Amino acid sequence: MLGIAKTAARTLAALALAAALAPAGGLADTAKPPVVVELFTSQGCYSCPPADKFLGVLAQRPGVIALSFHVDYWNYLGWRDPFSSAEATKRQHEYASAMRRRTVYTPQMVVDGKLQGIGSYTGVIDGHIRLRQQAADDRVAVSISGDANAESLTAALKGDGGRTGDCAIWLVYFDKQHTTEIPRGENAGKTLTYYNVVREIRRVAEYRGTDLEIDLPRTGAKGARYDRAAILVQEPEGGRIVGAAWAPLK
């Protein structure tokens, strides 16, 4: 866990500046495919709140799909994160293996499955986002459509003739926002807000370079209802994300 007590004031100031500049800052080009930013975080991690706030800034930025994955390996510190999951931890370990990192940590942001950095280092993450936007021509076109009253949505992927190679297609259910009062653990006494909180993730299909349509149920496992759904097209074993889209479910 990263100790950032000495830099908390500077970090919060940077977040405020980023929030003020985000709508007009030109960091995201809506004409390009979206960049996916994944934050690996935990309510039991003292150094995570600034990164959680920054993810909230990114969640409002056009051209960015920001997702908050709550890992479960900090639950032993006195507070069990209600949004934590073994799936989030497994996904982070896959990235660590793909990036040849020996350990995992929080708060970590992974940009398009390719670049990573400390989630509260806003300048570094913004730089990663710019780099991925500049490489946006190598993406698979993805769209999600559907009638508001239909039981499912439809994800459409445009074939690229195999240019990107075979990829996994992930379906992610997430909620727009959650606020939690934390009575125990390293963040005891704090009330914290989390954005685009991932509730379920599962592999639903394979992309092999040809046009593809996939039905996306509006409900998760056992009929659970969430705010939003996203599709991620990703190279195998924690590789690069080459296509993505999201849609509201309510």
Model pLDDT for residues 109-156, shown as the tens digit of each residue: 999 999 999 999 999 999 999 999 998 677 899 999 998 788 899 999
- Tell me, what's the pLDDT at 215? 95
User: For the chain, how long is the longest CA-to-CA vector?
Assistant: 54
The whole-chain average pLDDT of the chain stands at 88
Angle at the Cα of 104 from the Cα atoms of 189 and 87, rounded to 5 degrees: 80
Query: CB burial class (10 A; 0-12, 13-18, 19+) of residue 69?
Result: buried
Residue 232: band (very low, low, confident or very high) from pLDDT cuts 50, 70, 90:
very high
Give the strands of the sheet with 241-248, arranged side by side: 115-118, 108-111, 35-41, 64-70, 190-207, 167-182, 228-234, 241-248
Nearest CA to 206 out of 168, 170, 242 is that of: 168
- How many Å from the N-terminal Cα to the C-terminal Cα in the chain? 36
CA 186 to CA 1: how far, in whole Å? 11
- Tell me, what's the pLDDT at 9? 38
- Tell me, what's the pLDDT at 164? 87
Alpha-helical (H) ranges within the chain are: 8-21, 49-59, 86-98, 122-134
User: What pLDDT, in 10s, does the model give residues 2-42?
Assistant: 444 333 334 434 433 333 333 333 333 346 789 999 999 99
Q: What are 2's two structure tokens?
A: 């990263």
- Tell me, what's the pLDDT at 239? 95
**Beta strand 167-182 pairing with 228-234:** antiparallel
Taking the whole predicted model, whether its pTM rises above 0.85 is answered as: yes
Looking at residue 122, the DSSP 8-state letter turns out to be H
Residue ranges covered by each domain of the chain: 5-248
Residue 107: band (very low, low, confident or very high) from pLDDT cuts 50, 70, 90:
very high
Which residue is associated with the tokens 């051209």? 63
Q: What are 99's two structure tokens?
A: 């990036």
- Tell me, what's the pLDDT at 195? 98
| Residue 168 CB coordination number (10 Å) | 16
Computed from CA positions of residues 219, 222, 226, 229, in that sequence, does the dihedral angle turn out positive or negative? Answer: negative
- Torsion-angle region of residue 222: left (phi > 0), alpha (psi -120 to 50) or beta? left
CA 133 to CA 28: how far, in whole Å? 8
